A and B are shown apart, each in its own frame.
Chain A
Amino acid sequence: MDDGRVKKGVNFVNLVDVGDPAVIAAEYERQGADELVFLDITATNQKRETMKAVVERVSRQVFMPLTVGGGITSVAQMQELLKAGADKISLNTAAVVNPKLITQGAEKFGRQCIVVAIDVKMDPTTKQYQVFTAGGKHNTGLDALKWAEQAVALGAGELLVTSMDKDGTKSGFDTDLYRKLNERIDVPIIASGGAGSLADFTTVFTAGKVDAALAASVFHYGELSIPAVKQTLHTAGVNVR
Chain B
Amino acid sequence: MLTIIDYDAGNTYNVQKAFDFLGVKTELTADPEKILASHGLILPGVGAFAPAMQTLQARGLDSVIKQAVAKGTPLLGICLGMQLLFESSSEYGQHAGLALIPGKVIALPAKKGFKIPQMGWNQHELRQSDSVFAYVAQEYTYFVHSFYAQCPNEYLVSQVEYSAPVPAIVRNKNVYGFQFHPEKSGQVGIKLLRTFVEEVVEA
Interface residues of B (CB under 8 A from A): 10-11, 13-14, 17-18, 20-21, 46-47, 115, 117, 119-121, 123, 140, 142, 144, 183-187, 189-190
Contact = CB atoms under 8 A, between A and B. Distances in A.
Nearest to A212: B120
A143 interface: no
Given A63-B18, A87-B184, A112 B117 contact: yes
Contact of A110 (B46, B123, B183, B190): B46
A157 interface: yes
A34 B140 CA distance: 10
Contacts of B18: 63
Given A63-B183, A63-B190, A187-B115, A211 B17 contact: no
B14 A110 contact: no
A82 B47 CA distance: 14
Interface in A69-118: 82-85, 87, 109-110, 112
A87 B13 CA distance: 11
A34 B120 contact: yes
Interface in A44-76: 59-61, 63-65
12 contacts: A60-B20, A60-B21, A63-B18, A63-B21, A85-B13, A85-B17, A112-B119, A187-B115, A211-B115, A211-B120, A212-B120, A241-B123
A125 B152 CA distance: 61
A42 to B, nearest CB: 27
Contact of A158 (B21, B47, B119, B185): B119
Contacts of B190: 63
B17 A60 contact: yes
Contact of A63 (B13, B117, B119, B187): B187
A200 interface: no
A188 interface: yes
Contact of B13 (A29, A83, A157, A212): A83
Interface in A175-226: 186-188, 211-212
A109 B17 contact: no
B47 A110 contact: yes
Contacts of B144: 112
